[in-house]
Amino acid sequence: MKCPQIITMSLRSAIVALIGSVSVAEVVAAENWYPYDTEVWHSPFDIDSKRSLKPYSPLKSATKPWDICVSLPHVDDAYWLAINYGIVAESRRLGTKMHLLEAGGYSNLTRQIAQVEDCIDSDADAIVLGAISFEGLNDVIAKAKQHNIPVIDVANGVSSTKVTAKTLISISDLGLNTGRYLADRHPQGSKSVKVAWFPGPPGAGWVESADKGFISGLDGNRSIDVVETRYGDIDKKTQMKQIESVLANHPDLDYIVGTAVAAEASIQLLKEKKLSDQVKTVSYYYTPAVHQAIKRGEVLAATTDSTVIQGRVAIDQAVRILEGRSYDIHVAPKLFVVDAGNIGGLDETSMLAPVDFRATFRVNNK
């Protein structure tokens, strides 16, 4: 099973050599990405419920080119581009049609509602929804159900119980895995280390969840002293200012832990202050910049939610539902931490879109 997915560089090189000018994105779309370690929730509409580990294997192919309509908040950042890539790659592999609508940003709830209504009016066979709002799409989801169109909730989550399936991680678990990683490095009773925690904007639900998970992951470990928690907007200027203040307050700091933006901001500051060897940086979620920084030794570790796999599983769930196959109502990739010890053996395209991939809005299998 693959968590993370492992493929050898020699195998990838051989495939590219055989196919010639075909892009990496097209090659990877045909690769076997499974089985992949996932978790299945016992109570699908309770994100905090118990779950079981399951090696996920998708269908080999669809029985017909089902028309799957996808609605995402946007495809302007690395996260949603990775979701887009997973959706496109799995649609091609299974042989389904796919058309994607993007709302243009999180302020455009009305536009996303209208786009989902367009999916319904166009007689789509299924809808994959990366929702802008936790509550705001419930009515249009109910409308889809009235039209017997299954809705698969991917990545962001909605409160509606009318969705047919979910491919949805727990944000709290991102913090939990990060906290456990530190606790494992510094067991109870070992030399104490000082940690500064930068979870993100104050009052944001996802930040509160990550914060709760992080503290839980530390599990009361007295060898880890969280000397400051700094909430703030996740723009680089704000994060650099906060980190600089914390470094001034705690010249003997050992760790900066927080958002990917905090991690990226810390790299420059630590170099300027000649503290890169003393202070280690950890991100509780994954981005291309963090990925490269781990490779360069500038970031110690980051937790990944295997973003591409979420997109792939959502498409497979849709096809399973349409064909009356067995499916898990709530499933998501098992989270794991990436560091220098395992990054060399990872298939990056389980987490990130290939560098040559561009936002793709339609797959036309026949």
Domain ranges, ordered by start, for the chain: 9-169+308-363, 171-304
Q: Closest by alpha carbon to 179, among 146, 213, 155?
A: 213
The four Cα atoms 105, 85, 347, 166 give a dihedral, to 10 degrees, of 70
pLDDT at 3 over 70: no
Residue with tokens 């249009």: 140
- What is the predicted pLDDT for the residue at 6? 34
Q: What is the DSSP letter of 2?
A: B
Q: Closest by alpha carbon to 218, among 193, 239, 253?
A: 193
Q: For the chain, what's the residue count?
A: 366
Residue 313's SS3 state is helix
pLDDT, tens digit, 9 for 90 and up, residues 256-297:
999 999 999 999 999 999 999 999 999 999 999 999 999 999
Q: Closest by alpha carbon to 331, among 340, 322, 321?
A: 321
- What is the predicted pLDDT for the residue at 334? 97
pLDDT classification of 31: cutoffs 50, 70, 90: low
pLDDT classification of 2: cutoffs 50, 70, 90: low
pLDDT, tens digit, 9 for 90 and up, residues 81-103:
999 999 999 999 999 999 999 99
Residues 6+ apart with CB under 8 A from 229: 196, 197, 198, 199, 211
pLDDT, tens digit, 9 for 90 and up, residues 318-335:
999 999 999 999 999 999
Distance of alpha carbon 4 from alpha carbon 165, whole angstroms: 24
pLDDT at 23 over 70: no
- What is the predicted pLDDT for the residue at 343? 97
Asked, colleague to colleague, whether 9-169+308-363 and 171-304 share their fold, the answer is: yes
Domain covering 171-304: architecture:
3-Layer(aba) Sandwich (3.40)
Summarize the confidence of residues 146-172 as an average pLDDT. 96
Summarize the confidence of residues 117-128 as an average pLDDT. 98
pLDDT at 28 over 70: no
Sheet with 255-258, strands from edge to edge, namely: 224-231, 193-200, 255-258, 280-283, 301-304, 336-339
Which helix (H) or strand (E) segment holds residue 210: the answer is helix 205-218
- What is the predicted pLDDT for the residue at 320? 98
- What is the predicted pLDDT for the residue at 204? 87
Whether omega for the bond prior to residue 58 falls within 30 degrees of 0, making it cis, is no
Distance of alpha carbon 47 from alpha carbon 82, whole angstroms: 23
pTM: 0.88
% the chain with pLDDT above 90? 89
- Is residue 115 left, alpha or beta, with left meaning phi > 0 and alpha meaning psi from -120 to 50? alpha
Question: Beta partners for 70?
Answer: 100, 128
pLDDT, tens digit, 9 for 90 and up, residues 193-244:
999 999 999 988 899 999 999 999 999 999 999 999 999 998 999 999 999 9
pLDDT at 7 over 60: no
Summarize the confidence of residues 47-58 as an average pLDDT. 96
pLDDT classification of 9: cutoffs 50, 70, 90: very low
Provide the terminal-to-terminal Cα distance of the chain, rounded to the nearest Å: 31
Compute the half-sphere exposure of residue 48: CA atoms within 13 Å on the CB side of its CA.
4
Average pLDDT of the chain, as a whole number: 91
The class (CATH top level) of 9-169+308-363 is alpha beta
